[in-house]
Structure 1
Amino acid sequence: MASLRAYRRFVLVVWQFFPLVWTFLRDRRRFLLFGGSRRVTEEMRLRRAKRLLDTLLTLGPTFIKLGQLLSTRPDVLPPEYVDVLSELQDRVPPAEWEGAREVLEDELGPVDEAFDDFERDPISGASLGQVYRAEYEGEPVAVKVRRPGVETLVEADLRVLRWTLPVVVQFVDEGRAFSLSNLADEFAKTIREEMNYEREARMLTEIQSNFADDPKICIPTVAEERSTERVLTMEYLPGTKITETEELDRMDVDRSAVAERLQRAYLRMIIDDGVFHADPHPGNLAVQADGSIVFYDFGMSGRVDEFVQEKIVDFYVAVADQDIDGILDALVEMGTLSPDADRATMAEVMELAIRDARGESIETYRVQQIVGKVEDTLYEFPLRLPSNLALVLRVATVVEGVCVTLDSDFDFISVATDYLTEQGYRERGVREFVDEKREQFGDAGEALVDVPPKLDDALERTNRDDLFVRVGVEDHEDVVDTLARRLVLALFTGVSGVAATLVFVLRPEALRVTLALVGVTALFAAWLYRSFRKRRGVRATPQFTRHNLQERERAGNEGERET
């Protein structure tokens, strides 16, 4: 039955997405099988993004949730799509009360007996559930109810996504294929976790206990006796939506202080506590009259292991110190940057990113130069997004957007630097640096003692003609195998060609043998030609060094002077 539903959903999904797929295929080949690629303008992308938004809304909760996740992934979608899909945070159609009532009664019994009072109209809606106001034991509460029948629908849709992903990745570059695969794994994991309200209650309670000493961070208390896997009852904490800046100004709330408080709260959750609220879009954040921040909806919460915490600290410390090499090292160790990436170009990219984050002016021509270098020298941008960092990046991106809305001059790096300094992380980095250098000096001292005798022994063996050198060749791209294969094919082609010529000249009556040898020669020649045509042939991965970049810049400057 589940498979049958999945097949029906697959047909529906294909039907809904077919117009978009057809359009994207024509972008690559104007007439599908031939013709040049089409130029896609910003207006065209905007229209397609709106069409995608309507499609996701039509397909229901799972795809609405997928769209919400995609709206925070600029590594997967162009900016126009990210902007349009962000509307899904606030545009989720409400479910009928009768369906919610059935869920409530199945979990808690009759609604009027479980609660003192219960409002039938939801105060907020989400893709997987919706929230109602109620009264329990004389106190106002918020009751989150899972949408009826959403479990079977989600499982069918996840199966459809697993079927379609291998097809989708064939039409994108390798970098986006990597991100899409991780996105699919992340999405399946998070949507199942988000449907489990018992898990949400545990995460909410843990994060609340971590901030028990901070009165400016408000997290609702769970009413455990009225909470189950499909119903979550918690303290009702009212507040003004965090992005309603005019209302905050009317309340005389210091928006800059709120932005800094929000940023510090997330730095604490990720770096110190290791458990964090992972869905900080404006609908889940509110501000009270005294500037306190209220957090809602802990369904999408995550954990950070100690290794990732350590590397995030290294990254932030390097950013605070504007240590470009340290930033790149941290990104490589976290798995977000390919070790084979051209560090010179990536260093310039990171330098611009830091200047932009600090609000410093950046010359347009320099941006164009660096973008040109990236496009000219790399087949793919070497940034990746491992699944264990996907939620962290989502949080960082969305929180920064909220903070900038509150304060257009918000300096993320300055706040992070102050926090790291106060918590002693930068001092720890200095100590680790000193210890590392001390260890290096110790190793160097040992080497000064050990190397001379070994060098003398090597020279003596050289004089006796008793020195052997063992060489190991790393060939990750199979260059040597490819060259050997081509040499063998070229040899067979030559030998069979010569044999065919000799037979034709010396034994003209043996026409069949001659034709057979010609056929074998043609086969080997075609095989050899094909090996040169394949993209995985012998070619080096394009890399730029700092010297290469300087040479190109000098050539460009000389050309400008001549004109």
Structure 2
Amino acid sequence: MRRFLPLLLAYARDRHRFVLFGRSRTVSRAVHRERAERLLSILFALGPTFVKLGQLLSSRPDVLPPTYLEVLSALQDDVPPADWDDARTVLEDELGPVDERFDDFDREAISGASLGQVYRASLDEEDVAVKVRRPGVESLVAADLRVIHWTVPLLRRFVDDARAYSLDTLADEFDRTIRQEMDYEREARMLEAVAANFTDDAGVVHPDVIESHSGKSVLTMEYVEGTKITDVETLDAMDVDRAALAERLQEAYMQMVIEDGVFHADPHPGNLAVDDEGRIVFYDFGMSGRVDPYIQDKIVDFYVAIARRDTDAVLDALIEVGTLRPDADRAVMAEVLELAIEDATGAEIEQRRVQRIVDQIEDSIYEFPFRLPRNLALVLRVATVVEGVCVTLDPEFDFIETATHFLTERGYREETARAYVEDAGNQLRQSVISAARIPPKAERALDRVERDDLFVRAGIEDPDDVLDQLARRITYGLVLAAGIVTAGLGIALDATAVALTAGALIVVATIALRRSFRTREGISARPQFTRQRLRQREPEQDEE
């Protein structure tokens, strides 16, 4: 609380200048970046649980604004490993004496993370990687999770309904994923499940699990050496086709999510490599997930709609899967999607057009229209991180073209087209049936009109609370008028107390009436698009 309180007060003052009341403030991008960097340092200082939380937040645009996502994306799970003596205790409690279980064991960890660390060893004359859970991390994570769940109801008071929904799903999802990530038996099962789906794929490599030397807190795997996938200079020296590699990586993740239903959910560059034969190597399956068939079907519909540039179908898919609010302004969101699709293809986007759409959003959308259901959070993380890796490999990478090729090759576009035809046939059949029922119903309605027996019920929808606002203004006006009359009578009758009370009432009513006429401030944001921002930053980096 001591570390987070200054930030919370700053956010509260953004909503109300005097914390509990007052107008909202417009915050510049520079201030957002400064706060995001402070948040980054706080998360890192608070330890492993909050490092993981920061990583998860970095892929949640439904919770944080773009500047925060950009800063938090630099929060890599790379921390100094624990002392060997402490790690040895965990290892031997699980497997027994190290010298007896392994031919050779290097005491220096080759990588350290917030929840575990990896050592290189030798077993039956084969190199293996041994992942050991960080000593004492279970109790630390349990305490931190209690704090996170305790603070969520407090944080809900500072955000709107859509972001409150996202906060709830974020807390539940984080609790589940971090506990799963500490369970190495589950990680072994997920690794084997994903590897089985790529048995016949010569372009993908997964390390084999050594079950005899694995348990709940220790995981021993085949050691597979490779070059970090974003080390483009080494890849070029290896004569690797980076454009083809980016396409293969994207297709591998699409297969995992759409076809297999089980996927590697932590594709940051540290967990992806390329071996000497140019094959993609996947490491660390601690963060992995499953996709149910309904979500798989909706993701296919989404990708097919993107491939066809059908923004209406994209919006329908987002609404059906629960990501977009049904009452969002479809016209504005369609234009936003058009811009996003153009950006995904690498097209240049006019900033004037962007600003016009932002102005439309300010005029028509007062509540955040997006939310992220629990079962889609990891899928979104995969999509955003993989796209970033692919653009690093190939700056001209076209996600839509790759997705279209994959869907066409696997027959999904034909299946979707067939479903559209069947749906159209069903609608036509229903239309014919309805057409046959209309004449008798129309005749009965006309008979009721002729007998003066027809009643119409009307309900007034007021999503923007216009009537409620009008009623408040009338009430404030009446109170103000009554206060003026009362004050006049108090002065005329020399009743000082009555006049002062009425004067105070006049002041309160005047302030309330004036505030009710103020226009509500909309979204204040600087539009950003991935590739354009990337191209704009390149010259700046060259100058530095």
TM-score normalised by length of structure 2: 0.85
Superposition pairs of residues 12-91 of structure 1, within 5 angstroms: 14-25=1-12, 27=14, 40-89=27-76, 91=78
Q: How does 1:139-178 map to 2 (within 5 A)?
A: 139-178=126-165
SS of corresponding position for 2:371? coil
Match of 1:379 among 366, 374, 377: 366
More moved, 389-398 vs 47-56? 47-56
Q: Give the distance between the partners of 2:175 and 2:371, measured in 1 at CA.
A: 19
**Matching of residues 141-290 of structure 1 within 5 Å:** 141-290=128-277
Aligned mates of 1:373, 1:434 — CA distance in 2: 35
Q: Which moved more, 1:438-447 or 1:262-271?
A: 438-447
Per-residue CA shift, 1:99-127, capped at 9, x if unaligned? 11010011111111111111111111221
Distance 1:193 1:145 in 2: 15
Give the letter aligned to residue 347 of structure 2: E
Structure 1 residue 33: Cα displacement? 6.6
Q: Distance in 2 between matches of 1:230 and 1:164?
A: 29
Question: C-alpha distance in 2, partners of 1:377/1:351?
Answer: 18
CA offset at residue 251 of structure 1? 0.7
Q: CA deviation at 1:227?
A: 0.8
Going from structure 1 to structure 2, the CA distance change for 1:27 and 1:346 (only over 3 Å counts) comes to closer
Q: How is 1:103-502 mapped onto 2 (pairs within 5 angstroms)?
A: 103-469=90-456
Query: How far apart, CA to CA, are the structure 2 residues paired with 1:31 and 1:379?
Result: 22
Q: 1:371 to 1:479 in 2, by over 3 A?
A: closer
1:66-123 CA distance string (max 9 Å, x none): 1111222233233333233233225322211111101001111111111111111111
Q: In 2, Cα distance between the equivalents of 1:477 and 1:340? A: 12
Matched residues in 2 for 1:530 and 1:37: separation? 16
| C-alpha deviation, 1:36, in angstroms | 7.0
**In 1: Cα distance, 2:286 partner to 2:478 partner:** 65
Q: CA separation in 1, counterparts of 2:481 and 2:32?
A: 54
Q: Within 1, Cα distance between the matches of 2:22 and 2:427?
A: 60
Letter in 2 for 1:172: V
Taking every aligned residue pair, what percent have the same amino acid on both sides? 61
Q: Is residue 239–residue 288 contact of structure 1 (8 Å, CA) maintained in 2?
A: yes
Task: In structure 1, list runs of 5 or more residues that go unmatched.
Answer: 1-13, 499-507, 543-563
Q: Is the 8 A contact 1:116 1:135 kept in 2?
A: yes
Q: What is the alpha-carbon distance in structure 1 between the residues aligned to residue 305 and residue 12 of structure 2?
A: 43
Retained in 2: the 8 A contact 1:284–1:297? yes
Question: Taking structure 1 as the reference length, what is the TM-score of the superposition?
Answer: 0.82
Residue aligning to 1:102: 89
Question: Structure 1's 525 and 442: CA in aligned 2 closer, same or farther, altered over 3 A?
Answer: farther
CA 1:163 to 1:357, structure 2 compared with 1: closer, same or farther past 3 Å?
same
Q: Secondary structure at the match of 1:421?
A: helix
CA distance in 2, matches of 1:474, 1:340: 13
| Counterparts of 2:260 and 2:512, CA distance in 1 | 54
CA 1:298/1:534 → structure 2, altered by over 3 Å: closer, same or farther?
Answer: farther
CA RMSD of aligned residues (A): 3.9
Confirm or deny: 8 A CA contact 1:489 1:525 kept in the other structure: no
Compute the displacement of 1:459 (Å). Answer: 1.8
Q: Secondary structure at the match of 2:128?
A: strand
For the residues of structure 1 that align with 2:291 and 2:96, how far apart are their CA atoms?
38
One-letter code aligned to 2:309 = Q
C-alpha displacement of 1:27: 4.9
Q: Which runs of 5+ in 2 are unaligned?
A: 486-492, 523-544
What are the Cα deviations for residues 139-160 of structure 1, in whole angstroms up to 9, with x where unaligned? 1111111111111110100111
Secondary structure, in 3 states, of the residue corresponding to 1:347? Answer: helix
Pairwise CA distance, 1:222: 0.8
Q: Residue 253 of structure 2 aligns to a residue in which SS?
A: helix
Relative to structure 1, the CA distance from residue 482 to residue 70 in structure 2 (aligned partners, 3 Å threshold; closer, same or farther) is closer
Shift of 1:181: 2.2
- Does structure 1 retain, via aligned residues, the 8 Å contact 2:213–2:220? yes
The verdict on how the C-alpha distance between 1:59 and 1:267 changes in structure 2, with shifts beyond 3 A counting, is same
- CA separation of 1:42 and 1:126: change in aligned 2, threshold 3 A: same
Letter in 2 for 1:443: Q
CA distance in 2, matches of 1:479, 1:374: 19
Partner residue in 2 for 1:557: none
CA shift in 2, pair 1:534/1:273, >3 Å: farther
